[in-house]
Amino acid sequence: MIKLLFFGRLGDFAGGVSASIEAAEGLTPAIVRDGLAADHPALFAELSQSQVLISLNQMIVGWDQPIFDGAELAFLPPVTGG
């Protein structure tokens, strides 16, 4: 399983902060995002914005980073703390 986390406004589009998907051969964050396009077009549009960063196991990575079983993939909109 891959744990998905959607923070900030992305959670509203995803219907919650946390979700999970099955692991698969050759999976990347871009493939996970594109896989959401059909069933969750609004979420897909939000994830496609250039300011959205992604982290894999709490490290910022690129959209083509390989994802292995058991990983935690988080989608991070621009931060607004402080």
Partner 1 sequence: MNSTIRIQAYDFDLAAEYELLRQFDSAVGTVVIFTGLVRDLEKNASINSLTLQHYPGMTESLLQEIVDQAQQRWDLIGVTVIHRVGELLPSDQIVFVGVASQHRADAFEAAQFVMDYLKTKATFWKKVDQDGQQHWVESKDSDQAASQRWANDD
- Number of helices followed by number of strands (H, E) in the chain: 3, 5
9 near partner 1, judged by CB under 8 A = yes
Give the residue, chosen from 25, 50, 58, 64, that forms a contact with partner 1 under the rule CB under 8 A: 58
Distance of CA 29 to the CA centre of its chain: 6
Q: How far apart, in whole angstroms, are the C-alpha atoms of residue 36 and residue 52? A: 15
What does the block give as tokens for 20? 């999970």
5 near partner 1, judged by CB under 8 A = yes
Give the residue, chosen from 22, 26, 50, 80, that forms a contact with partner 1 under the rule CB under 8 A: 80
Q: Where on the chain is the footprint of partner 1 (CB under 8 A)?
A: 5, 7-9, 12, 17, 51, 55, 58, 74, 76-82
